[in-house]
Amino acid sequence: MELKIANLSKTYKKGTVKALDNFSVTLTSGVYGLLGPNGSGKSTLMNIITDNLNADSGEVLYDGDNIKKLGKSYRSLLGYMPQQQGLYDDFTLNRFLWYMAALKGLKKKEAKQKIVSLLETVNLIDSAHKKLGSFSGGMKQRALIAQALLNDPKVLILDEPTAGLDPKERIRIRNFISEIAEDKIVLISTHVVSDIEFIAKEIILLKSGKLVSHDTCDNLIKEIENKVFEIETDKESLKYFQDNYRVSNLYHNDDKIIVRTVTDNPPKGCKTESVKPTLEDLYLYVFENGV
C-alpha cells in the first residue's frame, strides 16, 4: 500500500497565493503527522489527496495508479475528516451516521453493523440518539472521525482532528487514532506538536506550501542537536532575547531568569547551557524567525 504524492502545486486567487509549491512525499501504512502553522497549505494538500480539489500540477498515485483515474474505487477506500465541517446540528448522531453511510453507498445490513461497532469505538454509544448540536467539541470530533471510518478506509485523512479540544479530549483522540491506525495510511494535520509527537512514525514539516523535511521524530530532532540552550539572564536583558531569539520557554530561578532558546548563534558572555532538544524546539526553529 502506497500513496505517492508527486510535485503538487496549487495557487489561489489567480496565482497570487501559492498554497502548495512542488510538494512531494510518499506514504506507506502508518501514522504521518503533517505539521505546519496556519496557512502553510495543510488543508489544501488534504483536499487534493482526497480529490476534492484539483491541483494546478502534479499528481497523486495510489499503488501506482492516478487517483483521478481510479475515481470511485479510490473514494471507496478513502476516509476523510475535513477541517470545517458543517455539522448537521439537528441530526441525531445515529441519523448522521446512517446518512453518511448512504452517501458512501453502504448496504443497509453493512451500515447497521458498522454504525454499532463505530459508536462503541468512538465511545459515543450513549449519545447515539442525541442531537449533534448538543455535543461538546470532543464529541463532535469523535462523531466526525466515526463517519470517516464507516467504509473501513485504507487511507484516512484527518484535518486537525484535535482543533478546539481541551487537553483531556486531545489525549483521548490521540490514543484513539493510534489504536485504529493499523494497516492504514493515516495522515493527520495539526499545528500542535504534542498531538503527533508520540504516535506518528514520520513527521512532515510544511512551510508556505513547501516540504521542509520529513522523517522520524528522533531524526528530525537530531537536526537541532547542540542548538538548544538555556541562558541565564535578568529582567533588564530579557527583552533583548525575546526580540532576537526564538524563545520556547522561560522560568524564574530566584532573581535570575532562565530563557530556553533554539539558535545557530548562542550569545557570548552569558551563562549558557546546552540542553537536549525536543520536537517543540524544532517547530520553533523551522517556523519562527530568530538568530
- Contacts with Mg ion by CB under 5 A lie at 42-43, 83
> Judged by CB, which is closer to ligand ADP: 57, or 274?
57
Q: How many positions of this chain bind ligand ADP (CB under 6 A)?
A: 12
The count of residues in the chain is 291
Nearer to Mg ion, 28 or 54 (CB): 54
105 interacts with ligand ADP by CB under 6 A: no
Q: Any alpha helices (H) in the chain, and if so which ranges?
A: 42-49, 67-70, 72-75, 93-103, 108-121, 137-148, 167-180, 193-196, 217-222, 235-244, 279-287
The answer to whether the CB of 247 falls within 8 A of the CB of 241 is: yes
Tell me if 258 sits within 8 A of 231, measured CB to CB: yes
Residue 127 contact among ligand ADP, Mg ion, none, beta carbon within 5 to 8 Å by kind: none
Among 8, 40, 135, 193, binds ligand ADP (CB under 6 A): 40
Given 3-state DSSP classes, what are the helix, strand and coil percentages for the chain, each rounded to the nearest 5?
A: 35, 30, 35
Q: Judged by CB under 6 A, does residue 161 bind ligand ADP?
A: no
Q: What are phi and psi of 15, to 5 degrees?
A: 90, 0
Q: Which does 92 bind (CB under 5 to 8 A by kind): ligand ADP, Mg ion, none?
A: none
| Interaction of residue 164 with ligand ADP, rule CB under 6 A | no
CA distance 230 to 246: 12
| Candidates 33-41, 137-145, 172-180, 211-219; binding stretch for ligand ADP (CB under 6 A) | 33-41
33 sits near ligand ADP (criterion: CB under 6 A): no
Binding site for ligand ADP (CB under 6 A): 12-13, 17, 19, 36, 38-44
